[in-house]
Amino acid sequence: MEKSLVYLQGPDGKAVQAELWDDISAEHVAHWTDSWKPEIERFRQRLEKDGVAREKWPQDLHWDWSEKADATRTVLAYQRFALVCEGRLQGLMLVNLVTSTGRLAAQQGKPLVYIDFVSTAPWNRPDFCDKPRFVGVGSVLIRVAVELSRAEGFRGRIGLHSLSQAEKFYRKTCSMTDLGPDTGYYKLTYFEMTEAQATKFTSEPPKK
């Protein structure tokens, strides 16, 4: 495993140095189990106590990164990333380099990096807390996917299916192209980023 330096934005707007790891280690999974999972469970209990309708719950509340890490550990098609700052796990991402190709007319059939799953720690999410510790974790990870796409010779092309609650992030913050609901994939909206969009996205300061 190797790490590189990236920067997250603190609540005061100042940049904070973070570590991007090019795999999800057993230690990262332990951090998820020991820190993310209890926070998520407390949040779930609060939602139940407050009588919040389940359709309004965060749609990724059930994601189990321990299972995802185990299932992909020896699969060469996948690359996994962990983002650590201040000694705590701040974000996770799982991408596939093999199975997906472009759908937009300009890049139809061309290889791209497909983002299977991306998550940020509960304390960074405005839907979990009033004052997120770090902002822009998701944007940093999307940039990582774009740079991986370039390194693989895919020219920054990436694609993903979005949960409905995250569509605004991919459409507005990442400026990806919305191709509409995919009837072949749980009717989730499919988004794709072109080479030109990738260039624009990575040349601008990270968005919140």
Q: Could you tell me the CATH number of the domain that includes residue 71?
A: 3.40.630.30
* Angstrom distance (rounded) from CA 206 to CA 80: 21
At 177-199, the pLDDT tens digits run 999 999 999 999 999 999 999 99
Cβ atoms 157, 110 nearer than 8 A: yes
Phi, psi for 26 (deg, rounded to 5) = -60, -35
Token pair for residue 134?
Answer: 């770090």
Q: How many domains, the chain?
A: 1
Q: Which domain does 36 fall in, by range? A: 3-10+22-203
At 110-155, the pLDDT tens digits run 999 999 999 999 999 999 999 999 999 999 999 999 999 999 999 9
| Mean per-residue pLDDT over the chain, rounded | 96
In a domain, 15, yes or no: no
Cβ atoms 63, 117 nearer than 8 A: yes
Q: How many CA atoms lie within 13 A of 95 on its CB side?
A: 25
Q: Is the pLDDT of residue 204 over 90?
A: no
In a domain, 16, yes or no: no
Name the pLDDT band for 30 (thresholds 50, 70, 90).
Answer: very high
Q: What letter would DSSP give residue 135?
A: B
